[in-house]
Structure 1
């Protein structure tokens, strides 16, 4: 079966807007053109994708399944188009920074805003992503500066490594808050919210419990520190979290305590070795490193 991208794009737009008119406006083509693309798709797939209800097109269950796959394709191409646009429009007055999600919900926006305060003509390109993707972006020249978690996949960066200490987050009102410092022995019966098994905080926490000879009870596995903290706030368990996620969360519902032995998170600020930094990028790099060093851990046992 040979499906055309334009058919999938029209289908995606109809699901999102609920009407042929809305899809036509979103894609900038005629309503008959949208209807024709949908008819072609239904004919090729031999699936009924919509029912009409009060002037709107309601997706069938089959359409719901198809949309989950199509959504990834359509949004992925949108990201490619944006990447091409960013590469085409790079300019000396543009700050280009990428960071992992943990730094993107408060730390980095505040730092960029402070940097931009006396630079009114500066434009900003900022994205948050997983660390491997950030390395690819910096390598490709899409971003001048990246912050990512170690390890580095490519031997093509100038890097500055900063280790930050995680803190144990407890649900508000937890009896464990009476302790000034928490250890594996005190936490043996507690359910943990954790990042995936390949994440450095997962491995290092597991090692701390193994070294103490204490069982480690993991209850929820997820992929973002922001999600980890949300589960703690819901009372699902405790978690070791980076200070950025904790310091810039204003919803409350948790308290923090030091954990010993300390579990460290290794971050790297990277730039491409193959490209000189712009003057603007160099200035921001200095500001970023100064700010990150305020979070740098002093190794403790």
Structure 2
């Protein structure tokens, strides 16, 4: 059989309206066109759908049974059309996101809250993983988008890199908070919270102190930076911190004002990247989130730039 959707919708309308003429008016077509459509459908099916008795069009028992099938087909088509429209307007689908710890506590959830506000049918899976594991999850196409520390280039990964500066975090009542910039000379021999030895930021920090002839005193060693802020707030140490972690504090605790951030010089960079599978085409929703994430990174930079500036006198 070669039955068209137009034949099915015409048949359904005739069944609903009870007459060829009324169906033609509803569908804004001519009566002969509707009659011809029903006739060709009957020829294709091989049985009668309507009989005319005493000047009235009556459906056959076969028509009643066929109507159930037509309704099911058209209902499914309407659902499919709604789903396609939702996908097109980024209202439906699923996003799988793998995120580094520094951004998992506040930055990424805050970003997603805004992104998902008007997308009730869009589901999200968000996991926190180390940057090295995120690379593998993206390369193997298990996740749609990753946010990690910048990896070495791989053919199986597409990446956009963003250079961020580390900042010095200290208590607001510390005498060093009066400085616009802090360097290894000011932190020479002072207790520090640092990440584990093999972390890029720790290695770069140690190199900067060594080149300045200063001593990096490691009082607290961490796997992730966020807990270090508690030690700094307690007055136990200072911390040279990645921008994402410091941003989380600025957003959450700015009103309390327990800590401040200052520029650290010479610059220690901590690069992050947006990762997507290299051998797969991004979905529309992934592409939209990608752009949203790019904008959020730029806004974070602006916020942190303002946070590191000294307040104006009397301000």
TM-score by length of 2: 0.62
| 1:198-224 Cα deviation digits (max 9, x unpaired) | 111111111111121222211111101
Q: Which runs of 5+ in 1 are unaligned?
A: 1-91
Q: Which runs of 5+ in 2 are unaligned?
A: 1-91, 303-315
Is the Cα contact below 8 Å between 1:162 and 1:293 reproduced in 2? Answer: no
Deviation for aligned residue 1:293 = 2.9
| 1:183-236 Cα deviation digits (max 9, x unpaired) | 111111311100111111111111111121222211111101112222212222
TM-score by length of 1: 0.65
Is the Cα contact below 8 Å between 1:100 and 1:147 reproduced in 2? Answer: yes
Which residue number in structure 2 is paired with residue 107 of structure 1?
107
CA distance in 2, matches of 1:296, 1:171: 21
Q: Which secondary structure state, in structure 1, belongs to the residue aligned with residue 270 of structure 2?
A: strand
Is the Cα contact below 8 Å between 1:168 and 1:259 reproduced in 2? Answer: yes
Q: What does residue range 63-82 of structure 1 map to in structure 2 within 5 Å? A: none
Q: Which secondary structure state, in structure 2, belongs to the residue aligned with residue 122 of structure 1?
A: strand
| 1:24-74 Cα deviation digits (max 9, x unpaired) | xxxxxxxxxxxxxxxxxxxxxxxxxxxxxxxxxxxxxxxxxxxxxxxxxxx
Which residue number in structure 2 is paired with residue 186 of structure 1?
186
Deviation for aligned residue 1:142 = 2.1
Q: When the two structures are aligned, how many residues end up with a matched partner?
A: 207
Which residue number in structure 2 is paired with residue 159 of structure 1?
159
Is the Cα contact below 8 Å between 2:247 and 2:300 reproduced in 1? Answer: no
Which residue number in structure 1 is paired with residue 57 of structure 2?
none
Which residue number in structure 2 is paired with residue 235 of structure 1?
235
CA distance in 2, matches of 1:292, 1:206: 27
Which residue number in structure 1 is paired with residue 289 of structure 2?
284
Which residue number in structure 2 is paired with residue 124 of structure 1?
124
| 1:217-271 Cα deviation digits (max 9, x unpaired) | 1111110111222221222210111222222223553221111001110111111
CA distance in 2, matches of 1:155, 1:233: 43
Which residue number in structure 2 is paired with residue 214 of structure 1?
214
- After superposing the two structures, state which structure 1 stretch, 242-251 or 265-274, moved more: 242-251
Which residue number in structure 2 is paired with residue 201 of structure 1?
201
Is the Cα contact below 8 Å between 1:144 and 1:281 reproduced in 2? Answer: yes
Q: Which secondary structure state, in structure 2, belongs to the residue aligned with residue 117 of structure 1?
A: coil
Which residue number in structure 2 is paired with residue 146 of structure 1?
146
Label 1:231 to 1:153 Cα distance change in 2 as closer, same or farther (>3 A).
farther
Is the Cα contact below 8 Å between 1:134 and 1:148 reproduced in 2? Answer: yes
Is the Cα contact below 8 Å between 1:209 and 1:215 reproduced in 2? Answer: yes
Which residue number in structure 2 is paired with residue 268 of structure 1?
273
Poorly superposed stretches of 4+, deviation over 4 Å: none
